[in-house]
């Protein structure tokens, strides 16, 4: 043992004296370690130092926001962010010196011990650069947290928006002519036992914008009604000639009126601003209406809940179909990508390298990117998500299957071949029986991945619940977004449990 240790020490003895190693690493970081026969350590230190210097120079250039000499750029960066630039410069210089000291220590024949201080310093410098590059601001995160808590609470508990009240609606309306003519429409006829409204006058002019885009109020209508539920709020709605309806606003608020004890009301309504189509000719009939929800008669699933259920089913089906076609198409690919099956001749080996290369290329591109390409190809919708997941599943499963094939026991293969079986028979009777358990395991795992991945492909137009989720977020409808998030969470949890149970029972 003593002789072996001494021979190993002589074999790793430095090619140069310790002072020279230190000076060389001072000129080129890591060169002294390389010549001291610590080749990989020297390369690692050289790469680390080069990366840190490059990242630091890039950040200083961005902070300076100017072109000019390096000194001018450095001075500007020091002026803008001295708390970052000065410690980083000191740290980079300290690392350079530590690398030279490390080379000196490693080249000393009597004391060749490796120190971890230099790598600790590298880690600290990379951590500081990462902190600055990612713009981490804990103060903002803490101070702005109260602003996001209400939205977060809506997402975490959105079920108040999952159901809508089914109400009994009482409504009545009157026609309004725009502009006035010699024959304005008469007040509506009153039907006994039904609510009635009347507008005075029955014609007028809409609100318009002047040349400075200021609103010029239109005709003021006296809107009266009776026969409604007493002491209940009524909403005022407007219908244009195209059938578009909207609630009337005045002074930035939706216009409502409270009925009296007999169910009657009276309110002044300024005719709203409405763009008139360029093709409109002559007087147009608009309609003003009073609506009143008198009582709640039940609950019904809201539109957000119904859409979330529909899109979640769509998401599950996309993942399921992508997994099915991915398994079917990846099996022949995996056979061509298994070295032990394709090493018979140079032709089969050529197929092996081609298939492995294509699988690596397809697998390296994330499904989100494939979804963007598929959207350009076939348009928005679940078909694009299906294409993206199927392509990635073929490459991913093909790699897993082929590696499982390469690790099978060669004994059965040799035994089958000894009987004179051809390649197809060898695969059918020696390879397939050994492959069933790992194939099932990998397929279930990929099914779980595809269902989870299909939930976010909608963010780029791949259909499913992800598309609905991003629309709700853009509309700032956090309760509806919370419903979609809950469905995603529940589905992923159920799929995880189901896949684990299938794996436990059949694998």
Q: Distance (Å, rounded) from C-alpha 373 to C-alpha 461?
A: 10
User: What pLDDT score was predicted for residue 2?
Assistant: 41
Q: Give pLDDT tens digits for 287-319.
A: 999 998 766 677 788 888 999 999 889 888 998
321 in the same domain as 309: yes
Q: Residue 8: pLDDT above 50?
A: no
462, burial (CB in 10 Å: exposed 0-12, middle 13-18, buried 19+): buried
Q: Residue 6: pLDDT above 50?
A: no
Higher pLDDT pick, 163 / 47: 47
**For 250, left (φ over 0), alpha (ψ -120 to 50), or beta?**
beta
Q: Residue 14: pLDDT above 70?
A: no
Tell me the average pLDDT across 37-55: 92
178 in the same domain as 130: no
User: What pLDDT score was predicted for residue 244?
Assistant: 87
Q: Residue 52: pLDDT above 60?
A: yes
User: What pLDDT score was predicted for residue 78?
Assistant: 83
283, burial (CB in 10 Å: exposed 0-12, middle 13-18, buried 19+): middle
95, burial (CB in 10 Å: exposed 0-12, middle 13-18, buried 19+): buried
User: What pLDDT score was predicted for residue 134?
Assistant: 86
Beta bridge pairs of residue 201: none
Q: Distance (Å, rounded) from C-alpha 423 to C-alpha 349?
A: 15
Q: Distance (Å, rounded) from C-alpha 235 to C-alpha 237?
A: 6
368 in the same domain as 278: no
Q: Residue 265: pLDDT above 80?
A: yes
Q: Quote the mean pLDDT of the chain.
A: 85
Q: Is 121 helix (H, G, I), strand (E, B) or coil?
A: helix
User: What pLDDT score was predicted for residue 495?
Assistant: 81
Last residue of a domain, one of 280, 301, 322: 301
Q: Residue 457: pLDDT above 80?
A: yes
108 in the same domain as 82: yes
Q: Distance (Å, rounded) from C-alpha 382 to C-alpha 467?
A: 10
CA angle 489, 493, 499 (to 5 degrees): 145
* Residue corresponding to tokens 């004296």: 17
Q: Residue 3: pLDDT above 70?
A: no
Structure token pair of residue 261: 């004890």
Number of CB atoms found within 10 A of residue 424's CB:
8
Q: Do the domain assignments include residue 261? A: yes
Q: Residue 11: pLDDT above 50?
A: no
Q: Residue 208: pLDDT above 80?
A: yes
Q: Do the domain assignments include residue 144? A: no
Alpha carbon of residue 69 to chain centroid? 41
Q: Distance (Å, rounded) from C-alpha 293 to C-alpha 286?
A: 23
Q: Do the domain assignments include residue 154? A: no
Higher pLDDT pick, 92 / 73: 92
178 in the same domain as 168: yes
Residue 185's domain comprises 163-301
Q: Do the domain assignments include residue 47? A: yes
196 in the same domain as 50: no
> Whose CA is closest to 203, among 185, 222, 224?
185
> Whose CA is closest to 428, among 442, 417, 440, 441?
417
Say if residues 23 and 100 touch (Cβ distance below 8 Å): yes
Rg, the chain, Cα only: 37
User: What pLDDT score was predicted for residue 345?
Assistant: 81
Q: Do the domain assignments include residue 156? A: no
Q: Distance (Å, rounded) from C-alpha 389 to C-alpha 76?
A: 49
* Residue corresponding to tokens 């926001």: 65
User: What pLDDT score was predicted for residue 7?
Assistant: 41
Number of CB atoms found within 10 A of residue 102's CB:
28
Q: Distance (Å, rounded) from C-alpha 44 to C-alpha 22?
A: 16
Q: Do the domain assignments include residue 485? A: yes
Q: Residue 5: pLDDT above 60?
A: no
Structure token pair of residue 75: 């001075």
Q: Residue 325: pLDDT above 90?
A: yes
Q: What Cα–Cα distance (Å) separates residue 389 from each residue in 64, 293, 462? A: 44, 48, 10
319 in the same domain as 296: no
228 in the same domain as 205: yes
Q: Residue 234: pLDDT above 50?
A: yes
Side-chain half-sphere exposure of 209, counting CA atoms within 13 A: 8
Structural domain total, the chain: 3
- The CATH number assigned to the domain holding 193 equals 2.60.40
- The CATH number assigned to the domain holding 477 equals 1.10.3720.10
Q: Residue 419: pLDDT above 50?
A: yes
**For 213, left (φ over 0), alpha (ψ -120 to 50), or beta?**
left
Tell me the average pLDDT across 135-141: 85
Q: Which helix (H) or strand (E) holds 8?
A: helix 2-11
DSSP secondary structure letters along 461-506: T--SHHHHHHHHHHTT-HHHHHHHHHHHHHHHHHHHHHHHHHHHHH
Q: Residue 402: pLDDT above 70?
A: yes
Banded model confidence at residue 278, pLDDT cuts 50, 70, 90: low
Q: Residue 424: pLDDT above 90?
A: no
172 in the same domain as 99: no
User: What pLDDT score was predicted for residue 409?
Assistant: 81
Beta bridge pairs of residue 165: 299
> Whose CA is closest to 382, among 483, 445, 485, 460?
460
Structure token pair of residue 427: 């695969």
Q: Is 306 helix (H, G, I), strand (E, B) or coil?
A: helix
Say if residues 397 and 389 touch (Cβ distance below 8 Å): no
Q: Do the domain assignments include residue 187? A: yes
Tell me the average pLDDT across 172-196: 90
* Residue corresponding to tokens 């020297």: 42
**pTM score of the predicted model:** 0.63
DSSP letter at 430 equals I
Q: Residue 410 — φ and ψ, nearest 5°?
A: -75, -10
- % of the chain at pLDDT higher than 90: 29
Q: Distance (Å, rounded) from C-alpha 466 to C-alpha 458?
A: 4
321 in the same domain as 455: yes
192 in the same domain as 71: no
Q: Which of 58-67, 104-113, 234-243 has the highest mean pLDDT?
A: 234-243
């Amino acid at each position: 043992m003593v002789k072996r240790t001494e021979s190993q020490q002589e074999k790793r003895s430095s090619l140069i004296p310790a002072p020279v190693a230190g000076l060389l690493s001072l000129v080129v970081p890591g060169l002294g370690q390389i010549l001291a026969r610590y080749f990989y350590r020297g390369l690692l230190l050289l790469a680390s130092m080069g990366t840190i210097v490059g990242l630091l120079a890039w950040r200083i250039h961005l902070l300076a926001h100017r072109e000019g000499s390096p000194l001018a750029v450095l001075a500007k960066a020091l002026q803008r962010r001295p708390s970052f630039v000065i410690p980083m410069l000191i740290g980079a210089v300290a690392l350079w010196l530590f690398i030279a000291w490390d080379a000196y220590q490693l080249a000393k024949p009597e004391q060749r011990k490796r120190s971890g201080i230099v790598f600790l310093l590298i880690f600290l410098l990379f951590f500081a650069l990462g902190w600055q590059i990612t713009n981490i601001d804990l103060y903002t995160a803490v101070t702005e947290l109260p602003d996001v808590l209400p939205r977060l609470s809506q997402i975490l508990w959105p079920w108040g928006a999952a159901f809508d009240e089914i109400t009994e609606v009482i409504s009545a309306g009157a026609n309004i002519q725009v502009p006035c003519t010699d024959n304005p429409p008469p007040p509506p006829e009153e039907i006994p036992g039904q609510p009635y409204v009347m507008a005075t006058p029955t014609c007028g002019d809409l609100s318009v914008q002047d040349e400075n885009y200021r609103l010029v109020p239109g005709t003021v209508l006296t809107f009266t009604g009776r026969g409604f539920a007493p002491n209940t709020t009524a909403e005022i709605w407007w219908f244009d000639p195209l059938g578009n309806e909207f609630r009337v606003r005045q002074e930035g608020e939706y216009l409502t009126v409270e009925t009296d004890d007999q169910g009657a009301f009276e309110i002044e309504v300024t005719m709203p601003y409405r763009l008139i189509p360029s093709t409109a000719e002559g007087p147009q009939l608009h309609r003003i209406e009073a609506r009143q929800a008198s009582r709640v008669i039940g609950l019904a699933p809201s539109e957000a809940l119904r859409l979330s259920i529909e899109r979640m089913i769509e998401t599950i089906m996309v993942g399921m179909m992508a997994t099915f076609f991915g398994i079917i198409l990846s099996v022949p690919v995996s056979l061509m990508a298994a070295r032990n099956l394709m090493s018979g001749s140079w032709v089969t080996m050529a197929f092996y390298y081609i298939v492995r290369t294509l699988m690596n290329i397809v697998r390296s591109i994330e499904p989100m990117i494939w979804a963007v390409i598929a959207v350009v190809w076939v348009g928005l919708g679940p078909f694009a998500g299906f294409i993206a997941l199927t392509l990635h599943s073929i490459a991913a499963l093909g790699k897993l299957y082929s590696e499982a094939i390469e690790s099978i026991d060669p004994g059965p293969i040799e035994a089958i071949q000894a009987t004179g079986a051809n390649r197809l028979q060898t695969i059918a009777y020696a390879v397939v029986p050994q492959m069933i358990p790992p194939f099932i395991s990998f397929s279930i795992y990929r099914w779980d991945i595809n269902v989870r991945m299909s939930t976010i492909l909608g963010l780029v137009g791949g259909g499913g619940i992800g598309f609905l989720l991003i629309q709700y977020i853009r509309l700032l409808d956090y309760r509806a977004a919370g419903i979609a998030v809950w469905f995603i969470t529940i589905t992923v949890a159920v799929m995880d449990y189901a896949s684990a149970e299938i794996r436990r029972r059949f694998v």
